[in-house]
Structures are given as C-alpha cells and as structure tokens.
Structure 1
Amino acid sequence: MKKIKKGDDVVIIAGKDKGKRGTVLRVVNTDLVVIEGVNKVKKHERPNPSKGTTGGIVEMEKPIQISNVAIYNPATQKADRVGFKILEDKRKVRYFKSSGQLLDA
C-alpha cells in the first residue's frame, strides 16, 4: 500500500512550487507523481494530422518527486505525515500521524 495515491489532496513541501496545493492526477512510478496545477511546463508540439493534433505551445504538468509532496490534512489545514494501521477486521488503512484520524474510511 502506498502513502500517496491518485485523488489525494497534497501540499508541495519543496521546490519551485512550494506551498501550492493540488490533487494527485496519477502516480507515475514509486517515486514520481503528477499533481494538478503544479510543475507546469510549456512544450512545443509538432502538428500531427494523423492524430488530429494541431501544433503549437502546449502547457502541461510534469511529474514531481514524491518526497517533495505531503498529504493535506483538512482538520489542521497543514501538510501531514501518513502512517498505516491494521483494523480489527484485518483491513490496512492510512491515518494522519498528527491526529490519528483515519484517511481511508
């Protein structure tokens, strides 16, 4: 089980976008995630008539290291660390380290 998953609300804790909040769009691999509205770059694309794309400058989100990202805790309105607990019904769930509140209900 991973500490950060697709759909999680996260805060950037290091880098050029430090302090920004966003939602995880996808997890690229074990150490890279793509976050909505963060680490935006402009890419020059060639037109491709077979795919139906027009050329030009496209703005897109690039992956960011997962170590530079922390889960957003809505109760404290700050970045928080994540831990794992095993419940009585043998389910493994994530929880906020600061408050002990469950992240996966």
Structure 2
Amino acid sequence: MAKVRKGDTVQVITGKYKQKRGTVKRVLPESNKVIVEGVNIVKRHIKARSQIRQTGIVEVEAPLQVSNVMLVCPRCNEAVRIGFREENNEKVRFCKNSACGATIPDATGWVRHTAD
C-alpha cells in the first residue's frame, strides 16, 4: 500500500517549489514519482499533429520524487509522516503527529478496506 495516493494533498519539502502545496494528479509507482497539480511546471514544445491538440510551447507539470513530498494531514493541516495500523481488520493510514494521530482517508473520503 502506497503512502501517497491520487487525490491526496501534499507539500513539497525540498527544491525550487519548497513549501508549496498541491493535489496529487497521478502516481507513478514504477519510477517512485508523483505528479502534483501546480508544482514543478516545465515548458514543452509540442509539434502540430491534429487540430484538437494545442501546439507550440505548453506548460505542463513534471514528476517529482515521492521522497520530496509529504502528505498534509486533513485534521491538523500540517505536513506529517504517516504510518499504517489495523482498525477493524483493515489496514489504514494514520498521522504520526503526536498531538493528532488521526486516520487519513483516501481522496474519495473512504478508508481503504483491504489488508495488503
């Protein structure tokens, strides 16, 4: 089970976009990277191929290493480390902040119901 999932709010902890927050648009588990909305913007030169697609110089989000982002706890609104525990025979993520300890739901609002 991945610590960061699509739809989670994360905060960048290193680099040019340090302290910036955004929503995870896509997770690339094979390369250990995530694409975060509004972060790590690069310019791409797109060749004209069809009339539907935009051509020219386009700004897109590039992937970031998963180790360079931290999950933002929805309850305490801080960038925190997360852990896993079992609740009612279900594996769930939780905030490791000593004052919080809240269960972190999936982006859909549901707690994952599998014990991986």
| Fold shared, TM-score > 0.5 on shorter chain | yes
Moved over 6 A (4+): none
What residue identity is the alignment partner of 1:97? K
The answer to whether the 8 A contact 1:39-1:64 is kept is yes
Q: Partner residue of 2:104?
A: 103
The answer to whether the 8 A contact 1:48-1:54 is kept is no
1:45 to 1:96, Cα distance in 2 relative to 1, 3 A: same
Q: Partner residue of 1:71?
A: 71
Q: Which segment drifts farther, 56-65 or 21-30? A: 21-30
- TM (normalized to structure 2)? 0.82
The CA distance in 1 between the partners of 2:54 and 2:14, in whole Å, is 35
The CA distance in 2 between the partners of 1:86 and 1:70, in whole Å, is 22
Report the number of matched residues: 103
Q: Per-residue deviation at 1:100?
A: 1.1
Q: Per-residue deviation at 1:102?
A: 0.5
1:90 correspondence with 2:89: yes
The CA distance in 1 between the partners of 2:77 and 2:92, in whole Å, is 21
Q: Which runs of 5+ in 1 are unaligned?
A: none
The CA distance in 1 between the partners of 2:40 and 2:58, in whole Å, is 14
What residue identity is the alignment partner of 1:46? K
Q: Per-residue deviation at 1:28?
A: 1.2
The answer to whether the 8 A contact 2:46-2:58 is kept is yes
Identity %: 44
Q: Which runs of 5+ in 2 are unaligned?
A: 106-110, 112-116
The CA distance in 2 between the partners of 1:76 and 1:54, in whole Å, is 41
- TM (normalized to structure 1)? 0.90
What residue identity is the alignment partner of 1:38? V
The CA distance in 2 between the partners of 1:68 and 1:28, in whole Å, is 14
